[in-house]
Structure 1
């Protein structure tokens, strides 16, 4: 698969994912906070299946 997550989008996904997981581990929010694994994984791997379905790409174009 081609990467489709880049720049600020990637950083925000990683930060939000880590924050949700940390809040869950601290007991501040319920078990639904484990959903933070999804944005964390999409940020780390730079691939978002939902973006692929709707045709969004936040990665800058690479010049050859």
Structure 2
């Protein structure tokens, strides 16, 4: 990437378009992060008597998570 883009061409420069797309992907990922991080706590609450520890819940979440986003 280069920084040699004039302001008038910035909206159509492929690098700028790619960066805007990356920003949009990162924003979507961050928006869902809080919900994802709540999952282990909800699993622990669903399993009574302390059978499901925080580490167990994170392990289960990691095993069931999709491999790509």
TM range (shorter): 0.3 to 0.5
Question: Which entry has the higher C-alpha Rg, 1 or 2?
Answer: 2
Greater relative contact order structure (CA < 8 Å, 6+ sep): 1
Scaled by the length of structure 1, the TM-score of the pair is: 0.33
The structure richer in helix per residue is 2
Scaled by the length of structure 2, the TM-score of the pair is: 0.31
